């Protein structure tokens, strides 16, 4: 099971998580229970506004949407879900999540439990992979799809990225983890809080769940809702040019944008461009 190393580690992590939430507008904490355990979502914005579901990346839980959450809440009804099997507020204290297909089962059950029939869906990194996979399997539940430098969707992981991940996963020390995140985000000051929280997560949480595998060409051709991907110019997770070319070749419905002066942490580096892209697609 994916879990914190002990109760003290969990409490220390949640203190840092709650500190980041102080930058949020007023929100509700929604908790639902399903076959894989307890899922927590943070809801903010007018209940009468269009519903926008946010899915975070690996080790970067819902609190890390802080750079854009206030602006989003002024436009939409936000439901930011802490992915199960990740450090955060959700807990895999039910059945083990052992297969990649279990992620979309979990997300469908979460939509059902939260009373979300259909929503605009936005995912970053691993959350982009999950969002894209969910959209291919349950197109009627996704009104539009926004992928922020998604992992394993239109381009595979680079060999360099996989090699750089080995030290922090085999030996999760502060030095190894910080080195990975500094390289990933190009050491920009706007990412400091995110990197601190993600580092605490990798140090204190043991993730025992499947990694994302590349979506197939037939799956990506099934995307039928308005879809866009924002690819970071300086991403190291995949090859930006390949992600753009593959989307153009496989599915003309997908609008692709290369975001300049931007690392993989796209929400922190270019928040205005993310907001504008969401507004353009949803409205």
* CA 164/CA 144 separation, integer angstroms: 33
* CA 18/CA 13 separation, integer angstroms: 9
Residue range 10-15: average pLDDT?
Answer: 94
Length of the chain: 283
Tell me the average pLDDT of the chain. 96
Residue range 4-27: average pLDDT?
Answer: 94
Confidence (pLDDT) at 114: 98
Confidence (pLDDT) at 1: 79
Contact 25, 70 (CB under 8 A): yes
pLDDT band at 190 (very low <50, low <70, confident <90, very high): confident
To the question of domain 3-282 being in CATH 3.40.50.1820, the answer is yes
pLDDT band at 214 (very low <50, low <70, confident <90, very high): very high
Residue range 59-85: average pLDDT?
Answer: 97
Confidence (pLDDT) at 2: 87
Confidence (pLDDT) at 104: 97
231, two tokens: 């690819």
pLDDT band at 273 (very low <50, low <70, confident <90, very high): very high
Q: Is the pLDDT of residue 24 over 90?
A: yes
* CA 55/CA 124 separation, integer angstroms: 6
Confidence (pLDDT) at 21: 96
* CA 34/CA 222 separation, integer angstroms: 28
Strands 37-44 and 77-81: antiparallel
Helices vs. strands in the chain: H and E counts, helices first: 11, 10
pLDDT band at 222 (very low <50, low <70, confident <90, very high): very high
Per-residue pLDDT tens for 36-71? Answer: 999 999 999 999 999 999 999 999 999 999 999 999
């Amino acid at each position: 099971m994916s879990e914190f190393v002990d109760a003290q580690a969990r409490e220390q992590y949640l203190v840092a998580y709650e500190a980041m939430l102080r930058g949020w507008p007023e929100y509700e904490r929604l908790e639902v229970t399903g076959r894989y355990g307890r899922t927590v979502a943070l809801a903010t914005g007018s209940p009468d506004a269009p519903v926008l579901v946010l899915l975070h990346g690996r080790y970067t839980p819902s609190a890390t949407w802080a750079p854009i959450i206030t602006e989003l809440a002024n436009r939409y009804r936000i439901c930011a879900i802490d992915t199960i099997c990740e450090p955060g507020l959700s807990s895999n204290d039910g059945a083990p999540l052992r297969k990649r297909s279990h992620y979309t089962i979990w997300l469908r059950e979460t939509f059902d439990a939260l009373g979300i029939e259909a929503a605009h869906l936005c995912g970053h990194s691993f959350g982009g992979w999950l969002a894209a996979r969910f959209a291919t399997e349950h197109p009627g539940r996704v009104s539009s799809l926004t992928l922020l430098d998604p992992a394993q969707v239109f381009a595979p992981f680079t060999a360099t990225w996989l090699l750089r991940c080995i030290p922090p996963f085999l030996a999760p020390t502060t030095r190894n983890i910080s080195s990975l995140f500094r390289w990933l985000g190009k050491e920009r000051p706007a990412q400091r809080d995110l990197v601190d929280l993600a580092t605490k997560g990798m140090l204190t949480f043991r993730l025992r769940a499947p990694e994302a595998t590349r979506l197939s060409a037939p799956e990506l051709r099934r995307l039928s809702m308005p879809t866009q991907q924002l690819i970071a110019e300086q991403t190291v997770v995949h090859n930006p040019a390949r992600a753009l070319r593959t989307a153009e070749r496989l599915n003309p419905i997908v609008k692709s944008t290369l975001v300049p002066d931007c690392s993989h942490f796209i929400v922190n580096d270019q928040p205005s461009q993310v907001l504008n892209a969401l507004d353009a697609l949803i409205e």
